[in-house]
Structures are given as C-alpha cells and as structure tokens.
Structure 1
Amino acid sequence: MTYPDTYYKRTMSDPRQRAALAGLEECDTVIVGGGLAGLTTALQLARAGQAVTVLEAESVGFGASGRNGGFVGPGYATGTEQIARIAGEDAARRLHLMSLEGVDFVRETIRALSIDEAKPQTGLMSVLRHDDGASLKAYVEQTRRAYGNELEFLDRDQVRSVLKSDRYFQAVRDGRSFHMHPLNYLRGVAREIERLGGRIFEASPAKAIDLQGAQKRVTTPGGEVRARNVVFTTGGYTGSLHGRLKRSFLPIATYVMVSEEAPDLIASAIATTDAIGDNRRAGDYYRVVDGGRRLLWGGRITTRAASTQALVRELRAEMVGTYPQLAGLKTELAWSGLMSYARHLMPQIGRMSPGVWYCTAFGGHGLNTTAIGGKVVAEGILGETDRYRLFEPFGLVWAGGLAGLAVAQLTYWKLQAQDWWRERAA
C-alpha cells in the first residue's frame, strides 16, 4: 500500500494510511476506485446526505490521478469536430461547457475546503512549434464567441520573452485554467468525505461483485459492502473484476521527470509560472514547481511496460532540444503511470444497468474533466440531472485488446512522425 516514488509523494502533506475493509459495510453507494473520479463522486453524494463507501486497492490517489502533470484546463483528448461528428453540434458544445465547468468546480473545491496544499497556480499556455499565428487568432475568437472563454493570443516575441526557445512561435494563454499538486488535492477531498461521514478503505481491492437485484455486493479480501448503487471509477490499473469494463479501454503508460533544485538555471529558460503544453499531437507538457526551484517535465507514451530510465533519456533529449541552456539541469526523480484511454478518445461515463454506474477512461482529458465526470454521475444517482447521457455516444466499446494496444502504439509513432515533418516544413 505504498505510493510510487514521485515528486507528489515526496511533497504529500497528508501521509496518513487508512484501514482495510474488515467485515460487513452497508451504505447507499459503494465506489470502486479512490482516484479523482471516485472521490468526486463520493464527495458530491456525501454532500447530499448519502452514506458512501470508497474501496481503494492501494492508497488514495495511487493511480494516474495522483501522479500526473497537474493541469486543470478544458477540453478532451479528441477534438471538438470529432465529438460533433459523433454526438452532434449541440452535444459537442454542451460537453465543452461541461469541461469548462470542471475547471471552476476544482478551483471552488480547493477554496471551499481550504486545500491550500494543492498550491493552485493560474495560467496554462499552449504553444505552437510552427508559425501559424492567423489560425491561432481565429481559434481565440471562435472560443470567445462559442463559449465566452476569454483566451489571450501571444505573438512570437511575447512567447519567446518568457520561453527562451527558438522552437516556439505563437501561443494561447488561458487565464481561467490552472495547475496544481494533484495528490494533495485528492487527500483534501478524502478528508472532507470522511468529515461528512463517508468511509474510505485502502488496501481493499474488489475481488468479486454481485450486481443482480436491488442490493449490490462488492467483496474484498477482508469483507463485503452492500449498497443500492455501485460506481466503477478505476482507470489504467483496472483488473479483471468486470470484463466489459476491462475490455473497454487500454492501459497507456506516460512518463514524468522532475529536476534538481536549480532556480537560476531554470529561470534562464522559463520565465513564467504558467504550465506549458505544445501543440504537437505527441507533445510534451511541463511547469515549474517548488516556487521555481524545480522543473516538472512529462510526455511520451508506451502501450507496454518500458524502462522509465530509457524514456527519461528521451524526455531529456526533448527538453534540451527545446532549451539547450538546460543541458546541465540534472534529473532528480522520474516515474511512470498508467492512464486509461478509450478507442474513441472520450471519457466513458454512464449507467450500465439500474444501480450500476461507470466513470473512467480519462487519459489525456485533464483533472477538470475527470472531476466533472464524477459530479455528473453523482447527479445521476441522486436524480438531480441526466447530464451523464451526453456521454452515451461514447460508451463502453471494445478497445481491441492486444491488437488495440499495437494500433495505439503505431498511431502514436505516426503522430510523432507527422509532428516532425510539419515542424520542418514550417
């Protein structure tokens, strides 16, 4: 029941361990998975007065929710045009507005629960690695008209005044979005669930389920939970407990590294507290942490187990290729984590049958979308809204198994090649 050795683990403000389930527990809703989707669902249900129980196989925030880049910004892993093609223009617009709502929801949760240790920092910047200011200006205007979201266009000189790299051209800055310490946020939400009477059990993997009838049963090595509702919120570490769920997404590994303390060296390259992501379809993301003393840099994906150190060498090559002045910046810590991706590159959110819900496949979507997914599932359970139905066109479709993993890896390599050619043709 230990966290992987990450920067977030080392700076975790609440290291408490919770007991494993022992014996019988009865409640209104049992949630399988103690990541962001599961804890948000539990929080909203507990706020409404439900008795909730969360079962976590490892520790709260053990999976991707607690060791990601920490970005809280709108959007999905697939584009708006693709969403509109599948679900329709109106649904695509409503889904994007929901993603924006997720940004505000996470920010308000930090404020309401005084989770100061989440250390939210305003500003996300998306930068172009090829010269195309006209298209970016058009995007800024379209976003303002369609969603009322005010973005700031930055020309090449403005970008390079804060990002000292000749790889970058124009950028869009989103001042509504932010970045944070995700594991500390999760620990703060968990504390509030327990304050409201919810129960959270760690080291309690679900080993068997009975979803028939009005009362559902989830069995762990040490006990059993009986509830009217079951919500599955597991991600890249999902086991074979529920075959349909397991087959509906692919576990994809991503990689992150954190530098040594070197504030002056880092500032010589990156003179902003904004989080940065480039426009490549196979791009990198990074941000300064510890008040500018360290640099957190993430990227690269693999569909099978790979050497973290080998991938870190690739990340370092990308970092130094972007910022040659950081060649002497040493990597102090690196880790990987499994995210879940659906074939359609959208979250999978909905109801399988009466009393049985799912909320998963959040790889590439950002913390805000994961949180709003948990919120709309709670709304559905409580009968407050049926907003979860917006995700029905993106259901639990088979992800392809081993063949799907191979296709995903080939697609990633293809995107990398396309990015390389586009930048050199610019």
Structure 2
Amino acid sequence: MITNSFNPQSIDEVHWRRTAAKRPNATVLRDKIEVDFAIVGGGLTGCRTAIGLAEAGAKVAVLEAHDIGFGASGRSGGQCNPIWRATPDELRAKFGEDQAARLIKATLGSADALFDDIRSYEVDCDAEQNGWVQAAHCKSAKKRLISLGEAWKSAGAPIEFLGREETQKVSGSSEYGFSLFHSKGGHVQPLSLTYGYARAAERLGAVLFENSKVTSMQRVGDKWAVTTPTGQVLAKQVILTTNAHTNGLWPGLQQTFFPMVSIALATEPLSDDLQQQVLPNAVTIADSRRAIFFARYDRDRRLIFGCVGSTDKAAALGGIGRLRNGLHRVFPQLKQTKIETAWAGRIAVTTEMMPHLHEPAPGVIAALGFSGRGIAMTSVMGRALAKRAMGGPDDVLPFPVSPVSPIPFHWGTKKVLPLGAPAMSLRDKLDTLFDPL
C-alpha cells in the first residue's frame, strides 16, 4: 500500500474476496445426475433463478465454470441503480404499451425488491439503501439528466433534482454542479450477495457445482444432456445465465452483446473526518461520463472508486492512471489516502443498453446483457426466468422474449473495444473543457 500509486502485487486482487461472507457448499460435478432444471452460470442471475425454481419444488442444478460469483457478480461496484438510461416513453416506443408497462413497473420496484430479497433470505452482504446520486459532468449531460429524471419521476420514481450546492453537499465533491437523487438506490457487497443467494438456493434443495465448465449441450429425447469434463446433467430445461462470460456453447449468443470492462480500486478505510467530507451520507454515486466514474463505501468505510477499463487486467491501456486520476479529480481530499488494491471485471453491454431474454430452442432459455444495471436487474431477471421456466406466459414477464440476433460486424468491433476506454476518457475531458457546467 503506497500513497498516490499502486503496489504491483495488489493489482488484480479483487477486493470483495477479502471481505466476503460465507461461501456456499459447491463442489465439482463428478457424476451423472438428473434434474428438472440445469442452470449454466453461477452468478447473481443464475443463483436468484435457482431460488425461485427450488421454492416451487423443482430439482435444480447450478453449474459454474470457475467458482461461484467469479464474473461480474463478484467484481462489480455493487451499486443498485434502479432506473434505465432510457425514458419510459422510449421503452413504450420500443416494446409497445403492455410490455413497457410491465418493465416500468418492475423497474420502479427493483430496488425495494432487491433489499426485500436480502432480508427474506437472510443474506449477509453489507447492504445499505441510502440512495443513489447520478451526477452531470457537463452542461449537455445536465440537460439529458433533467429529461431522464422528469420522465421517471412522472412514472413514479422518487427522484429529486439537486443543484450545485446540494450536489456538492451530498457528494462531497466540487466536480459536479447538478445531479439526480434516487432515494431507493443503494449498494451491496456483490460477492456476498451472490454467495447469499447461492446458500439460500442450497437450503431450498438446489445443488451447486463449481469448476465444472459446460463443454456441450445435446438434445437426448425430451431432455438436454449438459456435459462437463467430469460429469453430466440431464435436465428437462437448461437456463443460460453466463452474461459477459458467455462463450460458444450456444451458437450466436456470444455475439449479441459486447464484453465491456469495469475497473475499480479500494482505498484504505477513511478516517471519521474524511468520511464527513466524502459521500457523508454513504450514498452511492455515478456520473454521466462515457467512461463513467462511480463510488461508494464498503462496510469498513474504504472508498470503492471505479471507471471503464480495457481488458481483464486493471492496468491495461492506462487503466490504473484513469482510476487514480479520476479519484483525485472527484475527491481531491483523498490525494494522500493509500490505495489497497485494484481489479477488473467484465460486464455484458447490449446495443440497446438493456438485458436480453431468449428462448433459442425448446427447453432452452438465456438471459444476459445487464449493461451496468446488474445488481438490481439480475434479481428481477432471476424471478422472471423462474416464472418462464415453470410455464409462465409472455404477458407476465417484465422483459420481452426476443430471438438471438448477433450484432453485425461483431468480431471487428470487439477487437477494438480495448481502445474504447481511453477514447471515451478523452471525449469526457473535452466535455469538461468546452461544455462546462
């Protein structure tokens, strides 16, 4: 730990693994078993889906290629951001009145539903629902946030508009002159949330397997044979919840999103004096930059600060510099504060910035692409997947069932994605120079 720089040995050490709650009792699949539902992917979506199915009395197996919570579920900022980037009217135009109404209703209730889940399933995940500040970094961003806030407030979201003085008071930063305050927002320890969901699913009878990568899926009569290097699961239905770590297991699914990267750091625990200066009400904050800055506290009052990265290595293409410079720009009070660790995690981003729900074959359901809204919306999706898998019709689902449609020229765009973070950061700097608030 050294001031104003990173200890090389601490880079790519995921902070959440240091403070996580009790792990679930997952093992390696070494047999041939038969269940009603096989869930591929042991993150938030998969584990919340397992809860719903097991509660309904189904036999459920969860299969994770690495360890439970390995992906974004154990690496994200852990922020519960309970509205979309699109307005309700834009959702109506895209999905139609009835489908949009279900999605808007689920969105408005998503934060409370998450924290209700945490209480109901006794999940130990350092949850705090103190609100979410969405701050504008330039004048044009302020206009967009005003429109977004007015639209969602009209739909029923408890949103307040904060001017310069109020924004600086609630954030502890002079960087921003306007923000939205969403009182239902908050944050969690994301890996502990995943573990808590997994343990709840276990208590209900689901079986969890990790380090059990699915290598193939084949139709065998009226069931699916899901095969790993050391075992096999026969299931009536398979649910794919691999999100940004989706591979070629199902043709075309990997090409329906872009695997973006979020990077973050954890400071040392802040003194009482610094806590009064930085996010004094322990809110969550995210800004309007393309290479978004976000921050929140952990349970020990370390500040977690993040932005957009380039690869699975936090330092790639200047990522460490962006983190450090961003932290000191937003919170100059922390220039002498030690940084303990930094890490990266993949997130799945769709072109619509909304998750996808697919049924590519009888007995197969897939859900992915949470686009930075995973903490709140994986829980919504998990409930939806359980309903759908148990035979629920389209008209009860918050998300529309859509075909698997690969993005045109996906391979080419994916190759240049690592350059996106520095490019977005440059555009953000130009915004603050030529379009200041």
Indicate whether the TM-score tops 0.5: yes
Pair 1:36-2:60 in alignment = no
Pair 1:222-2:241 in alignment = no
Of 388-397 and 51-60, more deviation after overlay is shown by 388-397
Specify every segment of 5 or more residues in structure 2 that has no aligned partner in the other structure, as ranges: 1-11
**Structure 2: distance between partners of 1:279 and 1:251:** 20
Pick the aligned partner of 1:186 from 188, 194, 199.
Answer: 194
For residues 386-409 of structure 1, the C-alpha deviation after alignment (integer angstroms, 9 at most, x for no partner) is 244843357443363331214655
Contact in 2 for aligned 1:350/1:389 (Cα 8 Å):
no
Pair 1:285-2:281 in alignment = no
| Distance 1:40-1:344 versus aligned 2 partners, 3 A rule | same
Partner secondary structure for residue 264 of structure 2: strand
- The equivalences for 1:254-293 within 5 A come to 254-263=262-271, 264-292=273-301
**What is aligned with 2:56?**
48
| Distance 1:404-1:131 versus aligned 2 partners, 3 A rule | closer
Contact in 1 for aligned 2:241/2:366 (Cα 8 Å):
yes
Contact in 2 for aligned 1:76/1:364 (Cα 8 Å):
no
For residues 316-358 of structure 1, the C-alpha deviation after alignment (integer angstroms, 9 at most, x for no partner) is 1011122222211221011111122223332121211211100
- The equivalences for 1:16-415 within 5 A come to 18-76=26-84, 83-88=91-96, 90-130=98-138, 139-146=148-155, 148-211=156-219, 213-263=221-271, 264-292=273-301, 294-302=302-310, 307=315, 310-386=318-394, 387-388=396-397, 390-392=399-401, 395-398=404-407, 400-406=409-415, 408=417, 415=424
**Structure 2: distance between partners of 1:93 and 1:156:** 34
Task: Read off the aligned partner of 1:219 and give its amino acid letter.
Answer: T
Contact in 1 for aligned 2:313/2:343 (Cα 8 Å):
no
Contact in 2 for aligned 1:266/1:326 (Cα 8 Å):
no
Task: Read off the aligned partner of 1:203 and give its amino acid letter.
Answer: N
| Distance 1:308-1:334 versus aligned 2 partners, 3 A rule | farther
Contact in 1 for aligned 2:102/2:398 (Cα 8 Å):
no
**Structure 1: distance between partners of 2:145 and 2:278:** 24
**Structure 1: distance between partners of 2:83 and 2:406:** 21
Partner secondary structure for residue 240 of structure 1: coil
**Structure 1: distance between partners of 2:34 and 2:85:** 37
**Structure 1: distance between partners of 2:292 and 2:266:** 17
Contact in 1 for aligned 2:24/2:195 (Cα 8 Å):
no
Partner secondary structure for residue 247 of structure 2: coil
Partner secondary structure for residue 200 of structure 1: strand
**Structure 2: distance between partners of 1:309 and 1:409:** 8
Aligned residues: 421
For residues 22-76 of structure 1, the C-alpha deviation after alignment (integer angstroms, 9 at most, x for no partner) is 1111110000000011111111011111111000111111110111111112233
Specify every segment of 5 or more residues in structure 1 that has no aligned partner in the other structure, as ranges: none
In the TM superposition, what is the alpha-carbon distance from 1:310 to its structure 2 partner? 3.8
**Structure 1: distance between partners of 2:431 and 2:157:** 29
For residues 67-121 of structure 1, the C-alpha deviation after alignment (integer angstroms, 9 at most, x for no partner) is 1111112233666565444324553443232223332221111111121334333
In the TM superposition, what is the alpha-carbon distance from 1:217 to its structure 2 partner? 0.6
Q: TM-score, normalised by structure 2?
A: 0.88
Contact in 2 for aligned 1:341/1:363 (Cα 8 Å):
yes
Contact in 1 for aligned 2:217/2:225 (Cα 8 Å):
yes
Q: TM-score, normalised by structure 1?
A: 0.90
| Distance 1:389-1:244 versus aligned 2 partners, 3 A rule | farther
**Structure 2: distance between partners of 1:69 and 1:121:** 15
Partner secondary structure for residue 122 of structure 1: coil
RMSD: 2.6
